[in-house]
Every structure is written in structure tokens, then in C-alpha cells.
Amino acid sequence: MITIKKKHNIQNPIFDELLKKYNNVVRYSYNRIIKDGITKLSDLEKYVKSNMNNIDCLDASWIKTAVKKSTEL
């Protein structure tokens, strides 16, 4: 089997916006785990959804994976 690697340039402003918001959710939820001691995923998701502004472009699956990523860190 031969593996072919191809570089791709994704210069999409929408993707950049989503990635930026995703990283903000990861950082915010990680800080809530450290400072407030919230460890349950569902409680942390509710807290993020209710308290964070400007994450309307992210759907529930993006927020859920961001919160899960922060608990793994």
C-alpha cells in the first residue's frame, strides 16, 4: 500500500471563527473545573451555555466536545 500525503490550505473565515469559539469554550470550561470544581459534564455544559456570550455559532455537539476536551486536559 502506498500512502500519499497532500497538504491542504483551508482559508475559510467561517472555519477560523468556529475554531476560535471552540478554543474559547475549552479554556473557559477548563478554568471552571480548576476554580469552581465543577466536574460533572452535564453541569459544566449547562454552565457554559448559560454564562458564555457569543457562542451562538457553535451547535451543541461542538460545545459538548469542547467541554469533554477540557476535562481530558
pLDDT per residue over 7-38, tens digit each?
A: 666 677 888 888 999 999 999 999 999 998 88
Stretch 44-72: mean pLDDT, rounded? 92
Q: Can you give the pLDDT at residue 8?
A: 66
- pTM for the whole thing? 0.80
- Cβ(55)–Cβ(63) below 8 Å: yes
From residue 23, alpha-carbon distances to 19, 27, 45, 59 in Å are 6, 6, 15, 14
Stretch 45-70: mean pLDDT, rounded? 92
Stretch 30-57: mean pLDDT, rounded? 91
R_g of the chain computed on alpha carbons: 15
Across the chain, what does the average pLDDT equal? 88
Helices (H), the chain: 13-36, 41-51, 60-72
Please give the Cα distance from 22 to 62 (Å, whole number).
7
